[in-house]
Amino acid sequence: AQSVTQLDSQVPVFEEAPVELRCNYSSSVSVYLFWYVQYPNQGLQLLLKYLSGSTLVKGINGFEAEFNKSQTSFHLRKPSVHISDTAEYFCAVTRNGGFKTIFGAGTRLFVKA
């Protein structure tokens, strides 16, 4: 069975600073990986996903993530955050050939002025 661990429950950061949100997964088979963002009082929306190919994936709003198979990680990064990036971020995994998506517990990103 797959599982997802988001290593930080909250990440405070100053505006224009870089940020990394960490995600590790466990699976005995290959997986598809996702990052979703949830703005206050809204549903989740897709930031980016890794299916295959290049391990560096670029998403919306300047975010990117790198798939590291040997470390079973899929960390999310942004070189310079804005106040508007304040939200909760969820890492998710689906087994290759499967259909159920497993979500991590979420990381709350606070961007301070």
Partner 1 sequence: DAEITQSPRHKITETGRQVTLACHQTWNHNNMFWYRQDLGHGLRLIHYSYGVQDTNKGEVSDGYSVSRSNTEDLPLTLESAASSQTSVYFCASSESGQGWDEQFFGPGTRLTVL
Of the candidates 43, 53, 70, 113, which one interacts with partner 1 according to CB under 8 A? 43
The piece of 16-24, 39-47, 55-63, 64-72 that touches partner 1 (CB under 8 A) is 39-47
Residue 11 has which token pair? 């990440």
Per CB under 8 A, does 26 bind partner 1? no
Output the smallest distance, CB 42 to partner 1, in A. 6
Give the 3-state DSSP-derived string for the chain, with helices as H, strands as E and coil as C: CCEEEECCCEEEEECCCCEEECEEEECCCCEEEEEEEECCCCCEEEEEEECCCCCEEECHHHCEEEEECCCCEEEEEECCCCHHHCEEEEEEEEECCCCCEEECCCEEEEEEC
Q: Does 53 bind partner 1 (CB under 8 A)?
A: no
Q: How many H-runs (helices) and E-runs (strands) does the chain carry?
A: 0, 12
- Within 2-21, the residues that bind partner 1 by CB under 8 A are 4, 6, 9
Q: How far is the CB of 19 from partner 1 (least distance, A)?
A: 20
Among 19, 44, 57, 109, binds partner 1 (CB under 8 A): 44
Contact residues: partner 1, CB under 8 A: 4, 6, 9, 32, 34, 36, 41-46, 49, 51, 90, 94-101, 103-106
